[in-house]
Structure 1
Amino acid sequence: MFTSTKTTFTPSTDIPSLKDKVIMVTGGNSGLGKQSIVELAKHRPKEVWLAARDPKRAAAAVTSIKCDLVEPVDIKILDMDLTSLDSVKRAAERFRSESSRLDILLLNADGMNTVARYGQSKLANLLWGREMARHYPQLTVPLVHPGLVRTNLATTMGQGSLIMRILWWIASLVTGVDVETGTLNQLWAATYPRVESGQYYVPVGKTRNGSKYAQDLGLGKKLWEWTEMELEAYLNG
């Protein structure tokens, strides 16, 4: 777990002008996603797309975000449930019909079932992200760890045992950082001009290799091929 808050990165002064930029944030209705929108919107992008599965919570988040802004920014709600590929496809089609570009994409939506499955999903994120960087060198795909953050994620572990939920909650309470601090690494990665594609960053802007499994090129290739196969009907439909 990474909990260091030592950094010289300050969003208000270190994020460059985002004029004419189009931004999308998944999971933008709460936690790290919402706070990231607040900070990015202060730098006057053309528009921000807040992707979330609950329209009412998304609308409430937009109202709250706009209260934190001195100058108005166009924030659009994109109805997208990541547990439904049909929903994701509809969201993608709507976005493509209404916007001709996408400059910054923060894939922030997440969920927690058990600690083991959460760790497995994080490994998959690293492997897939590195494959994405390899397959699409024209894109910049940094892989970001926010650190241990005090959000409601730790209390929604679903099938996790009561003991593990309590331990995780205590750990986040004692050693975790607040949401504002937790956003720093992803804000840095989204706006730093010399960020490296396929590189794994821990707070703030420090490179790491990850576990031996995260560095397994063969495992990454298998995951990429499996993902392509699973999505084929949606990609070609």
Structure 2
Amino acid sequence: MAWSTAHVPDQSGRTALVTGASGGIGLETARVLAARGAHVVLACRSVERARAAAARIGGSTEAVPLDLASLDSVRDAAAEVRGRHDRLDLLINNAGVMFPPDARTEDGFETHFGVNHLGHFALTGLLLDLMTRVPGSRVVTVASLAHRAGFGGFGAERARSATGRRSVAAYGRSKLANLMFARELQRRFAAAGAATLSLAAHPGLSATGLWHGDPPALLRPVAGAGLRLLAQPADRAALPSLRAATDPRAAGGAYLGPRNRFESRGAPGPARSSRASGDAAAQARLWDLSEELTGVRYAFTPERAEDPPAAAVCPVTGARG
């Protein structure tokens, strides 16, 4: 049977934070988690929109202002969450921008890279100790099919470029960074013996507000009629994130996405990724660069809850059997 929201287990007693949860895929992710009993923190640039979304979702929710284009805002949001909660079970790094109006963030970073990657890198590091001793806790980072277009590598100069606003390659690099971060984070969790897992997911092709930017001329047909014909709705596009966050069979380091039409739509399962995304040395270099640029250095907790019984791991899917 294809995986659906009916497979999401009970989330009672768990606390989940979803970035960009006021609309689109983030809203659908938050809605399902709240419906399954989780307390959901909606971390959004507009706290008013987050509160309106929380009211529509119902259940146990709260709103926290978070502007990923500002490291000061990221630190303030993390401090607010830490002041309210002593544990975090799920962190879903969902928010993102594509072809944004501003070339650089408040801190001078190329906006795709600054928002999509560096903001989430900083937020995760600042919340890390709320998770690493919590059994079953997970960090899910939302990447994209576009990570395959992430050419050119990473570096401090490119991270501060002002030429990426309408660049497919710049957006692709930020999504490649998301996937590389998720994999390096899992490696470090495993090395530290942390209770937390890191996974990645991509939504396929979805007609969400992400397309409301200013795409280059080449992509305008896709953003118009083509998108309406090919894309799946946000509730379907949220399934890979939900499976990564809640499926007990999903292993650390897994990458999930839709399975049909070249991974553009359909039920979620193991996704394919570029060779560049699996380069361990490049992952480590990106990590060092991210710590340098954000000033956030991760402190891993080398303690974990008692391990569950050992289970076989499928070498293809990463699922535990």
Q: TM-score range by the shorter chain?
A: 0.7 to 0.9
Alpha-carbon separation, structure 2, partners of 1:193 and 1:171: 36
Rounded to whole Å, the distance in 2 between the matches of 1:234 and 1:140 is 18
Identical aligned residues as a percent: 31
Shift of 1:234: 8.0
Aligned partner letter, 2:210: L
* Contact 2:17–2:90 (8 Å) recurs in 1: yes
Equivalent residue, structure 2, for 1:168? 223
Per-residue displacement from partner, 1:51-101 (whole Å, max 9, x unpaired)? 0011221122122222xxxxxx22110111000000000110111111011
Q: Which residue of 1 aligns with 2:274?
A: 211
Query: Which residue type is aligned with residue 10 of structure 1?
Result: S
1:62 matched to 2:54: yes
Contact 1:149 1:172 in 2 (8 A): yes
What is residue 3 of structure 1 aligned with on the other side? none
The DSSP-based 3-state class of the residue aligned with 1:221 is helix
Partners of 1:24 and 1:104 within 8 A in 2: yes
Extract unaligned runs of 5+ from structure 1: 1-6, 67-72
Structure 2 CA distance, aligned partners of 1:91 and 1:171?
A: 37
**1:155, 1:165 within 8 Å by CA — same for their partners in 2?**
no
Structure 2 residue corresponding to 1:152, chosen from 206, 209, 228:
209
Structure 2 residues without counterparts, runs of 5 or longer: 100-165, 259-266, 300-321
Distance 1:122 1:63 in 2: 31
Aligned match of 2:3: 9
**How many residue pairs are counted as aligned between the two chains?**
220
Structure 1 residues 76-87: aligned runs within 5 Å:
76-87=62-73
Q: Which residue of 1 aligns with 2:11?
A: 18
TM-score, with structure 2 as normaliser: 0.65
Asked whether 1:120 is paired with 2:150, we answer no
**Aligned CA distance change for structure 1 residues 218 and 168 (closer, same or farther; 3 Å):** farther
Which of the residues 142, 148, 159 maps onto 2:199?
Answer: 142
Q: Which residue of 2 aligns with 1:4?
A: none
Residues 105 and 233 (structure 1 numbering): CA distance in 2 closer, same or farther, change over 3 Å?
closer
- Give 1:129's match in structure 2, choosing from 182, 191, 204: 182
Give the Cα–Cα distance (whole angstroms) in 2 for the partners of residues 122 and 235 of structure 1: 21
Q: Distance in 1 between matches of 2:296 and 2:29?
A: 33
Task: Choose from 79, 83, 98 the match for 1:93.
Answer: 79
- Per-residue deviation at 1:209? 4.4
